[in-house]
Amino acid sequence: MKKNIFLTIVCIAFLLPETGEAQINENKLGAWYMYFFNTTFKESQWGVQGDIQYRNWNIAGDLEQLLLRGGLTYKPKNADIKLTLGYGNITTGRYGSDKSTTSESRFYQEALFPVKFGNRFYTNHRFRYEQRFVENQDFRTRYRYNLFLNIPLNKAVMDDKTLYLAMYNEIFINGQRAIGNGNNVEVFDRNRLYLGMGYILKKGLKIQLGVMNQSTNTWQKNQLQFSLHQKI
Protein backbone atom coordinates (compact mmCIF):
# COMPACT_ATOMS: atom_id res chain seq x y z
CA MET A 1 0.00 0.00 0.00
CA LYS A 2 2.76 2.42 1.00
CA LYS A 3 4.65 1.54 -2.17
CA ASN A 4 1.60 2.37 -4.31
CA ILE A 5 1.15 5.74 -2.57
CA PHE A 6 4.81 6.58 -3.16
CA LEU A 7 4.60 5.69 -6.88
CA THR A 8 1.45 7.81 -7.22
CA ILE A 9 3.17 10.86 -5.70
CA VAL A 10 6.18 10.43 -8.00
CA CYS A 11 3.93 10.21 -11.09
CA ILE A 12 1.98 13.34 -10.08
CA ALA A 13 5.25 15.24 -9.53
CA PHE A 14 6.41 14.44 -13.07
CA LEU A 15 3.08 15.47 -14.57
CA LEU A 16 2.79 18.82 -12.79
CA PRO A 17 3.84 21.86 -14.90
CA GLU A 18 7.02 23.70 -13.97
CA THR A 19 6.24 26.90 -12.09
CA GLY A 20 9.76 28.24 -11.47
CA GLU A 21 11.42 30.91 -13.59
CA ALA A 22 13.24 29.48 -16.60
CA GLN A 23 17.02 29.56 -16.40
CA ILE A 24 18.60 31.83 -18.99
CA ASN A 25 20.42 29.96 -21.74
CA GLU A 26 23.71 31.83 -21.86
CA ASN A 27 24.76 30.08 -25.07
CA LYS A 28 21.74 31.22 -27.10
CA LEU A 29 22.34 34.42 -29.08
CA GLY A 30 19.84 37.20 -28.41
CA ALA A 31 19.08 40.19 -30.61
CA TRP A 32 18.42 43.90 -30.08
CA TYR A 33 16.88 46.03 -32.85
CA MET A 34 17.33 49.75 -32.20
CA TYR A 35 16.53 53.17 -33.68
CA PHE A 36 18.16 56.35 -32.33
CA PHE A 37 17.32 59.90 -33.37
CA ASN A 38 18.25 63.44 -32.40
CA THR A 39 17.55 66.91 -33.69
CA THR A 40 17.96 70.56 -32.73
CA PHE A 41 15.40 73.35 -32.91
CA LYS A 42 16.74 75.30 -35.90
CA GLU A 43 19.96 77.02 -34.81
CA SER A 44 19.17 77.06 -31.08
CA GLN A 45 20.98 75.30 -28.25
CA TRP A 46 17.92 73.14 -27.56
CA GLY A 47 16.83 69.88 -29.14
CA VAL A 48 15.33 66.45 -28.56
CA GLN A 49 16.66 62.92 -28.74
CA GLY A 50 15.20 59.48 -28.28
CA ASP A 51 15.37 55.81 -29.08
CA ILE A 52 13.17 52.77 -29.63
CA GLN A 53 14.64 49.38 -28.74
CA TYR A 54 13.11 45.95 -29.24
CA ARG A 55 15.21 43.46 -27.31
CA ASN A 56 14.86 39.67 -27.49
CA TRP A 57 16.32 36.79 -25.50
CA ASN A 58 16.56 34.99 -28.86
CA ILE A 59 16.73 36.33 -32.42
CA ALA A 60 13.01 37.19 -32.39
CA GLY A 61 9.88 36.40 -30.42
CA ASP A 62 11.07 35.96 -26.84
CA LEU A 63 10.74 39.49 -25.47
CA GLU A 64 13.50 40.72 -23.18
CA GLN A 65 12.56 44.41 -23.23
CA LEU A 66 10.64 46.99 -25.21
CA LEU A 67 12.18 50.38 -24.46
CA LEU A 68 10.73 53.75 -25.50
CA ARG A 69 12.81 56.75 -24.45
CA GLY A 70 13.03 60.45 -25.22
CA GLY A 71 14.53 63.60 -23.79
CA LEU A 72 15.08 67.34 -24.08
CA THR A 73 18.68 68.28 -24.88
CA TYR A 74 20.71 71.42 -24.29
CA LYS A 75 24.19 72.35 -25.59
CA PRO A 76 25.82 75.26 -23.71
CA LYS A 77 27.62 77.87 -25.77
CA ASN A 78 31.38 77.51 -26.04
CA ALA A 79 31.27 74.02 -24.51
CA ASP A 80 31.37 70.77 -26.47
CA ILE A 81 28.90 68.92 -24.26
CA LYS A 82 25.26 67.87 -24.53
CA LEU A 83 22.98 67.70 -21.49
CA THR A 84 19.74 65.72 -21.51
CA LEU A 85 16.68 65.47 -19.29
CA GLY A 86 14.56 62.51 -20.33
CA TYR A 87 11.99 59.83 -19.62
CA GLY A 88 11.75 56.18 -20.57
CA ASN A 89 9.01 53.55 -20.49
CA ILE A 90 10.25 49.97 -20.33
CA THR A 91 8.38 46.68 -20.60
CA THR A 92 10.49 43.74 -19.44
CA GLY A 93 9.68 40.12 -20.26
CA ARG A 94 10.82 36.85 -18.70
CA TYR A 95 13.08 34.36 -20.40
CA GLY A 96 11.40 31.37 -22.01
CA SER A 97 7.73 30.48 -22.35
CA ASP A 98 6.54 32.71 -19.50
CA LYS A 99 4.84 35.69 -21.21
CA SER A 100 4.35 37.82 -18.10
CA THR A 101 5.92 41.28 -18.13
CA THR A 102 7.00 44.00 -15.71
CA SER A 103 6.61 47.71 -16.41
CA GLU A 104 8.98 50.51 -15.47
CA SER A 105 8.90 54.30 -15.68
CA ARG A 106 12.30 55.93 -15.65
CA PHE A 107 13.56 59.52 -15.51
CA TYR A 108 17.17 60.24 -16.39
CA GLN A 109 19.74 63.01 -16.67
CA GLU A 110 22.88 62.64 -18.74
CA ALA A 111 25.97 64.45 -19.95
CA LEU A 112 27.63 63.48 -23.24
CA PHE A 113 30.92 64.93 -24.45
CA PRO A 114 33.28 63.90 -27.27
CA VAL A 115 37.05 63.65 -27.13
CA LYS A 116 39.18 63.00 -30.24
CA PHE A 117 42.60 61.35 -30.04
CA GLY A 118 44.91 61.76 -33.02
CA ASN A 119 43.37 61.62 -36.49
CA ARG A 120 41.17 58.52 -36.24
CA PHE A 121 40.07 57.85 -32.66
CA TYR A 122 36.67 59.38 -31.93
CA THR A 123 35.44 58.84 -28.36
CA ASN A 124 32.27 59.86 -26.57
CA HIS A 125 31.84 59.81 -22.80
CA ARG A 126 28.32 59.47 -21.41
CA PHE A 127 27.39 59.83 -17.75
CA ARG A 128 23.77 58.98 -16.89
CA TYR A 129 21.79 59.10 -13.63
CA GLU A 130 18.45 57.26 -13.53
CA GLN A 131 15.46 57.38 -11.20
CA ARG A 132 13.53 54.13 -11.60
CA PHE A 133 9.93 53.27 -10.72
CA VAL A 134 9.76 49.51 -11.29
CA GLU A 135 6.49 47.64 -10.87
CA ASN A 136 6.24 45.96 -7.42
CA GLN A 137 9.55 47.43 -6.27
CA ASP A 138 10.61 50.39 -4.16
CA PHE A 139 11.98 53.52 -5.80
CA ARG A 140 15.49 52.91 -7.15
CA THR A 141 18.36 54.88 -8.68
CA ARG A 142 21.23 53.81 -10.92
CA TYR A 143 24.49 55.30 -12.21
CA ARG A 144 25.86 54.53 -15.67
CA TYR A 145 29.08 55.38 -17.50
CA ASN A 146 29.61 54.54 -21.18
CA LEU A 147 32.80 54.98 -23.19
CA PHE A 148 32.21 54.90 -26.97
CA LEU A 149 35.01 54.56 -29.54
CA ASN A 150 34.65 54.87 -33.33
CA ILE A 151 37.60 54.36 -35.68
CA PRO A 152 37.11 55.18 -39.40
CA LEU A 153 38.70 52.59 -41.68
CA ASN A 154 38.48 53.74 -45.29
CA LYS A 155 38.79 57.45 -44.49
CA ALA A 156 40.51 59.57 -41.89
CA VAL A 157 37.30 61.31 -40.82
CA MET A 158 33.75 60.26 -39.95
CA ASP A 159 32.18 61.45 -43.20
CA ASP A 160 29.75 60.17 -45.86
CA LYS A 161 30.42 56.60 -47.08
CA THR A 162 32.76 55.92 -44.18
CA LEU A 163 33.16 52.38 -42.89
CA TYR A 164 34.16 52.38 -39.23
CA LEU A 165 34.89 50.13 -36.28
CA ALA A 166 32.52 50.74 -33.34
CA MET A 167 33.16 49.78 -29.73
CA TYR A 168 31.75 50.67 -26.36
CA ASN A 169 31.77 49.57 -22.75
CA GLU A 170 29.10 50.60 -20.24
CA ILE A 171 29.03 49.88 -16.52
CA PHE A 172 25.88 50.10 -14.35
CA ILE A 173 25.97 50.75 -10.58
CA ASN A 174 22.87 50.57 -8.37
CA GLY A 175 22.18 53.46 -6.01
CA GLN A 176 20.24 51.35 -3.50
CA ARG A 177 20.45 47.68 -2.58
CA ALA A 178 17.04 47.25 -0.91
CA ILE A 179 14.23 47.19 -3.52
CA GLY A 180 11.28 46.22 -1.32
CA ASN A 181 9.56 43.08 -0.02
CA GLY A 182 12.80 41.99 1.63
CA ASN A 183 14.64 41.77 -1.70
CA ASN A 184 18.09 43.19 -2.39
CA VAL A 185 20.30 43.76 -5.41
CA GLU A 186 24.06 44.01 -5.68
CA VAL A 187 25.86 47.36 -5.99
CA PHE A 188 27.16 46.19 -9.38
CA ASP A 189 24.18 45.88 -11.72
CA ARG A 190 25.70 44.88 -15.08
CA ASN A 191 28.32 45.57 -17.74
CA ARG A 192 27.91 45.77 -21.52
CA LEU A 193 30.84 45.31 -23.90
CA TYR A 194 30.20 45.86 -27.62
CA LEU A 195 32.16 45.39 -30.85
CA GLY A 196 30.71 46.08 -34.28
CA MET A 197 31.00 47.69 -37.69
CA GLY A 198 29.28 50.86 -38.83
CA TYR A 199 28.68 52.61 -42.10
CA ILE A 200 27.69 56.25 -42.69
CA LEU A 201 25.09 56.16 -45.46
CA LYS A 202 24.95 59.93 -45.72
CA LYS A 203 25.19 62.98 -43.49
CA GLY A 204 23.02 62.37 -40.44
CA LEU A 205 22.30 58.69 -41.16
CA LYS A 206 24.36 55.64 -40.21
CA ILE A 207 23.87 51.95 -39.43
CA GLN A 208 25.72 49.56 -37.15
CA LEU A 209 25.87 45.79 -36.74
CA GLY A 210 27.72 44.07 -33.94
CA VAL A 211 27.65 41.84 -30.88
CA MET A 212 27.27 43.00 -27.29
CA ASN A 213 28.19 40.86 -24.29
CA GLN A 214 26.05 41.65 -21.26
CA SER A 215 27.15 40.32 -17.88
CA THR A 216 25.55 40.44 -14.43
CA ASN A 217 26.42 38.71 -11.17
CA THR A 218 24.29 35.70 -12.14
CA TRP A 219 24.48 35.35 -15.95
CA GLN A 220 26.34 36.42 -19.09
CA LYS A 221 24.89 36.53 -22.60
CA ASN A 222 25.77 37.68 -26.13
CA GLN A 223 23.31 39.87 -28.02
CA LEU A 224 23.32 40.66 -31.72
CA GLN A 225 22.75 44.40 -32.18
CA PHE A 226 21.42 46.13 -35.27
CA SER A 227 20.95 49.88 -34.97
CA LEU A 228 19.94 52.83 -37.14
CA HIS A 229 21.14 56.29 -36.08
CA GLN A 230 19.52 59.40 -37.52
CA LYS A 231 20.14 63.10 -37.06
CA ILE A 232 17.06 64.89 -38.31
> pLDDT tens, 125-157?
999 999 999 999 999 999 999 999 999 999 989
Length of the chain: 232
The verdict on residue 219 lying in a domain is yes
Least reliable range by pLDDT among 1-15, 61-75, 181-195, 207-221: 1-15
Q: What mean pLDDT is predicted for residues 41-62?
A: 95
Other Cβ atoms closer than 10 A to 150: 21
Q: Minimum mean pLDDT among 16-20, 40-44, 71-75, 146-150: which range?
A: 16-20
pLDDT at 5 over 80: no
Residue 225 located in a structural domain: yes
Beta-ladder partners of 197: 165, 209
CB contact at 8 A, 213 and 181: no
Domain span including residue 97 = 31-231
- 26, part of any domain: no
On whether the CB atoms of residues 193 and 169 are closer than 8 A, the answer is yes
Number of domains in the chain: 1
Residue 18 in any domain: the answer is no
Q: Which helix (H) or strand (E) holds 42?
A: none
Would 208 be classed as within a structural domain? yes
d(CA 44, CA 75): 9
4 domain-assigned: no
Asked if residue 226 belongs to a domain, the reply is yes
Q: With bands split at pLDDT 50, 70 and 90, how would you rate the model's confidence at 97?
A: confident
Confidence of residue 18 (pLDDT cuts 50, 70, 90): very low
pLDDT value at 220 more than 80: yes
- pLDDT bin (cut points 50, 70, 90) of residue 9 is very low
Q: Is residue 71 in a domain?
A: yes
- Residue 75 has a pLDDT of 96
The stretch 90-102 carries a mean pLDDT of: 92
State residue 4's pLDDT score. 52
CATH number at residue 122: 2.40.160
The mean pLDDT value of the chain amounts to 91
At 17, the pLDDT band (50, 70, 90 cuts) reads very low
